Amino acid sequence: MTRTQKELSQRVGPMFPNSFDVLHAIGYNYSGSGNCRRCKARILWYRTPQGKRMPMNPDATTHWASCPYAKDFKKQKAAS
C-alpha cells in the first residue's frame, strides 16, 4: 500500500467511500462544474473510467442518489 493510499483509507473510512480523492484514485476525472438540469443543484461532472459522465454532489456523493428527479434522468437515454 502506498503512502497516499494509506492516507486515503484513514481519511475516508467505511462511511465515506465516495470522497473525491477516492474517485480520482480509481480513475474518475473531473470534467467541470454545472447545475442539475432538473433540480438546479450545483453538481460536479466526472467522467468514469468507462467514459461515462456522472454528476456528483459537492459532498462527493453521486447526484443520482439525491436528485428528486433521478427517475427522469433514467428515462432520458438520448441525453448526451
Site residues for Zn ion per CB under 5 A: 36, 38-39, 67
C-alpha torsion sign, points 64, 65, 71, 77: positive
Minimum gap (Å) between residue 49 Cβ and Zn ion: 23
Name which of 20 and 73 has its Cβ closer to Zn ion: 73
Minimum gap (Å) between residue 7 Cβ and Zn ion: 32
Minimum gap (Å) between residue 71 Cβ and Zn ion: 11
Name which of 25 and 66 has its Cβ closer to Zn ion: 66
Residue 4, Ramachandran bin (φ over 0: left; ψ between -120 and 50: alpha; else beta): alpha
Name which of 23 and 36 has its Cβ closer to Zn ion: 36
- Closest of 52, 36, 53, 32 to residue 44, by C-alpha: 32
Alpha helices (H) along the chain: 3-12, 20-25, 63-66, 70-75
